[in-house]
Amino acid sequence: MNVPNEAVIRINGLFKRYGSVNAVNGISLKIGKGEVFGLLGPNGAGKTTTLECLEGIRRADGGILEIGGCDPQSDERSLRHILGVQLQSSSLPEGLRPAEAMSLICAWHGLPDRLDLLDRFGLTDQNRKQYRELSEGQKRRLHLALALACNPSAVILDEPTAGLDVQGRAQLHDAIRELKNSGVTVLLATHDMAEAETLCDRVAIMIKGRIAVVGSPAQVTASGNPDVRILLSTKNGCLQPGMNTGNARFLRQTDNYGVWLSADAASAVMELLKYVQAFSDTVEDLRVERPSLEERFLELVEGGTRR
Amino acid sequence: MKIFFKAFPRHLLLQFKMDIRERGTLLTYYLLPLVFYFIVGSVFVSINPASKQTLAFSMAIFAVTMGAVLGMPVPIVKMREAEVLRAYRVCGIPGFATLLVHAVSAFLHLLIVSVIILTTAPIVFGAGIPDSYAACFAVLVIVLFCNIAIGLLIGVTAKNQSTATLLAQAVFLPTVMLGGIMFPATMLPGALRTAGYIIPSTHAVRSFSGLAFGMNMESGAVLSLLILAGIGAAAAIVAALRFKAVSRA
């Protein structure tokens, strides 16, 4: 996906400093309508600070921010009607019930109660429970439901699936896809690379307050080490550990599999199969794995190759 | 502004309910002050029958001080620590409204408990009846305002729950010991009696005695009421400024 024409979220030269540390160092981004954008990075990269500046709860030291035509740094009141936010860590009063929380938030938005959102996130059955009695996953789902109460045009989700079980995670992923389909822009910060790869149209990897790379998950992955991994297991183990071919470099032996790296997967596979045939051996399993977003991420973060 | 006037009463009603669901709040707003009132009413009055005259308002002052100074700050700090204010803020609930809702809810709870004490004391323990119910209510409102403002100030100033508890105790204990609630301030040594003049409960006792219960005071009860209102206003302004600064940071 290319850079969008109709940007809902714009960041231009955002700068934020804590004491002598530049937490965010002049980053710029444009996120389009209906786009799911993933902000990735190790702890301390500046993701949450960036999001908090966009959410209007942290003052930026420099740069221009805009969400749906509204400046989050100076017009918080308007911002709250167009931006839904799920914070990384937050809570509600312990005695508050889900329906009461929804009613309260809707009242402050001047809207009728959105109990349908509680239903959508499987919280209707929990209406008798107080916040303190909800599980971590239920709390996360409640915060997401509350973030959507104002029918926002953009949503910021800071590690929304942290602490969720598989079912909760799947529900949340479905909800994000639904948001995208209804034209809502989603800015998602996550440590889960598989989640980013599956959900996001584009991702940016932040390192030490700067954006190291931005693009679709496929583009970001392809921008790194191009080598694919070839895993081959034969019946008689004819391929000796350490054996290289013209296009395949031996990497390691894992269980019954030999692992090779190659920039030209097709030629390398052909060469390896020729060896197997020459030794009258039989192929038990053959896999070709492209580098994942996680590997590209680690490559960028660790400043080297990790395969 | 229209949304504020529609949402605020709803928020207030919810907060009032949540306060009742919260065991700690229920204890400091209702249970402890009422138990203490019944013990004092039963024991002190038989030891010193003259204390009947001041029992109703002194126990009301005790209940208000206990609820506002001991009961209010910790939930406010807890709310800050648990990032409830941030969660509310990103969902469109202004921070000051959350604080105001807490204060008004506390006001209503403590008004209820004070009214229970003021109305039952004459019936159950033969305590003095106000000369003027209107004046009694007016003084009670000012006493509530002053103590709630102090509670708010502690709540927004304390860095954590243990600091809030310490600060609350540091305000509460002198209030009870030196303010003339447990025994007349005239029984205190000179220095402590002078120190008592900076304590709101001293002025609360004077205001109730002079303006609502028709007792002769050595100095102006109106002045005491003005001092109470002044302390409350100052505490409320400092609390608001402090809260604004914390929210911005």
CA distances from B96 to A188, B1, B79, B164, B240 (A): 29, 14, 13, 20, 8
Query: What span, in angstroms and rounded, lies between the C-alpha atoms of B51 and B75?
Result: 34
Measure in Å the smallest separation between the Cα of A98 and chain B Cα atoms.
Answer: 12
Chain B residue numbers with beta carbons less than 8 Å from the beta carbon of A73 are none
Give how far A199 is from chain B: nearest CA, Å. Answer: 24
In this complex, do A93 and B79 lie within 8 Å of one another by their Cβ atoms? yes
pLDDT (0 to 100) of residue A101: 95
Tell me how many helices (H) and strands (E) chain B has: 12, 0
Question: Does any CB of chain B come closer than 8 Å to the CB of residue A103?
Answer: yes
Taking only the tens place, the pLDDT of each residue in B165-184 is: 999 999 999 888 887 777 77
CA A264 to CA A154: how far, in whole Å?
Answer: 42
- From CA B114, how far away is CA B145, in angstroms rounded? 13
Q: What is the pLDDT of residue B218?
A: 53
B87 reaches A (C-beta below 8 A): yes
Q: What is the pLDDT of residue A136?
A: 84
Residues 6+ apart with CB under 8 A from B51: B44, B45, B58
> Using a CB-CB distance cutoff of 8 angstroms, which residues of chain B are in contact with residue A57?
86, 89-90
Of B160, B142, B17, B178, nearest to B68 by C-alpha is B142
CA angle A146, A150, A154 (to 5 degrees): 95
* Chain position carrying tokens 């949450």: A48
pLDDT < 70 stretches in chain B: 216-219, 248-249
Nearest residue in chain A measured CA to CA from B86? A90
Q: Which residue on chain B is closest to A152 by alpha carbon?
A: B91
A96 in contact with B, Cβ within 8 Å = yes
Residue A37 burial (CB < 10 Å; 0-12/13-18/19+)?
buried
- The tens place of each residue's pLDDT in chain A, 307 residues long, gives 455 568 899 999 999 999 989 999 999 999 999 999 999 999 889 999 999 999 998 999 999 999 998 999 988 888 999 999 999 888 999 999 999 999 999 999 999 999 999 998 888 888 889 999 998 888 988 999 999 999 999 999 998 888 788 888 888 898 899 999 999 999 999 988 889 999 999 999 999 999 999 999 988 888 877 788 899 998 887 777 778 888 888 888 888 888 998 888 889 899 888 888 888 888 999 999 888 888 888 888 887 444 4
Q: Which residue of A has its CA nearest to B10?
A: A104
For residue B82, give how far its alpha carbon lies from the nearest alpha carbon of chain A (Å).
6
Q: Is A146 on the interface with B (CB under 8 A)?
A: yes
Antiparallel, parallel or unpaired: β A62-67 and A202-207: unpaired
Tokens of A235: 């019946």
Question: Is B6 within 8 Å of A90 when comparing Cβ atoms?
Answer: no
Nearest partner of B97 among B84, B113, B112, judged by Cα:
B84
Q: Which of A80, A104, A147 sits opposite B14 (nearest CB)?
A: A104
Inter-CA distances, B194 with A48, B108, B188, B202, B208, Å? 53, 32, 9, 10, 19
Tell me the per-residue pLDDT of A202-245, one tens digit each, with 9 for 90 and over: 999 999 999 999 999 988 888 877 788 899 998 887 777 778 88
Contacts A–B by Cβ distance under 8 A: 75
Q: Which residues lie across from A288 on neighbouring strands? A: A230
**Identity of residue B36:** F
Instruction: Report the distance separating Cα A246 and Cα B42, nearest Å.
Output: 100
The CA distance from A306 to A227, in Å, is 11
CB nearest to A87's CB, from B17, B21, B86: B86
- Cβ contact, residue pair A143, B87, below 8 Å: yes
Q: Confirm if A23 and A61 have CB atoms less than 8 A apart.
A: no
Q: Could you tell me the sign of the dihedral formed by the alpha carbons of A172, A176, A182, A187, in that order?
A: positive
> From the CB of residue B56, how many other CB atoms can be counted at a distance below 10 Å?
27
Phi and psi at residue B204, to the nearest 5°: -65, -45
pLDDT of residue B179: 77
- Give residue-wise pLDDT tens across range A92-111: 999 999 999 999 999 999 99
Report helix, strand or coil for B32.
Answer: helix
Structure tokens at A87: 């914070």
Judge whether A277 and A238 are in contact, CB under 8 Å: no
B23 touches chain A (CB under 8 A): no
Contact flag A87-B87 (C-beta cutoff 8 Å) = yes
Interface test with A, best of B10, B77, B90, B96 (most A CBs within 10 A): B90
The pLDDT value given to residue A84: 94
Contacts of A104 in chain B (CB under 8 A): 7, 10-11, 14, 93
Contacts of A147 in chain B (CB under 8 A): 90-91
**Contact (Cβ atoms closer than 8 angstroms) between residue B246 and residue B239:** no
Q: Do B84 and A81 touch (CB under 8 A)?
A: no
Q: Is B124 on the interface with A (CB under 8 A)?
A: no
- Under an 8 A CB cutoff, do B14 and A100 touch? yes
Substitution target from A90, A105, A140 for chain B, most B beta carbons within 10 A:
A90
CA A107 to chain centre: 32
CB contact under 8 A, B3 and A108: yes
Interface subset of A 13-72, CB within 8 angstroms of B: 55, 57, 59
Nearest to B224 by CA among B183, B182, B196: B196
